[in-house]
Structure 1
Amino acid sequence: MPVIKVEMFEGRTTDQKRELVEVLSRETARITGCDVDSIYVILEDVKKSNWGAGGMLCSDKFPDEKPAMEESGRE
């Protein structure tokens, strides 16, 4: 039973999350040879103020930057 945990900045739409879960599940099943129903995906939205990179809070480091998927206009 594979478990995939994805931590990312908050801001993705439900449709984006739905597609991510579907693709991760499908491709994991293909690669591992297990049934897609046995795969669990955990999505965790993290505020930039709760994530650090390079010694800085991401809310300070990337104050106006939106998640890459959101900028593409996909929903």
Structure 2
Amino acid sequence: MPFVSIRISGSATKDQKAGIVADVTQSLVERLGKNPAAVQIVIEEIAVENYGAGGLLIADRDKTPPVREDARAESSQ
């Protein structure tokens, strides 16, 4: 029995989640020969205030101008 766990940052609509469930189920049926009735999928929505990458919360990432790689190299010289 396949069990798929999907995490997304932010949120998705019910229709978007239904599409994801349908697509992932179909992929497991086609690629692994699984019975679609046995496929279980959980979609977990992670609030952008609870997720970070590159040293910043995702919620704050759009508020902070990106640091260019060459600017980092210049500042360390």
* Same fold (TM > 0.5): yes
* Separation (CA, whole Å) in 2 of partners of 1:33 and 1:11: 31
* Separation (CA, whole Å) in 2 of partners of 1:20 and 1:62: 26
TM-superposition CA deviations, 1:3-32 (whole Å, max 9, x none): 111100232110010011011001111111
Identity %: 25
Report how far residue 35 of structure 1 moved: 0.4
What pairs with 1:1-75 in structure 2 (closer than 5 Å)? 1-62=1-62
TM-score (ref. length: structure 1): 0.77
Structure 1 residues 40, 62: closer, same or farther in 2, change over 3 A? farther
TM-superposition CA deviations, 1:23-70 (whole Å, max 9, x none): 10011111111101111110001100101101111111135xxxxxxx
Letter in 1 for 2:17: K
Conserved 8 A contact 2:52-2:58: yes
Greater relative contact order (CA < 8 Å, ≥ 6 in sequence): 1
Flag structure 1 segments of 5+ consecutive residues without an equivalent.
64-75
- Residue aligned with 1:44, SS: strand
Aligned residue pairs total 63
TM-score (ref. length: structure 2): 0.75
Bigger Rg, structure 1 or 2: 2
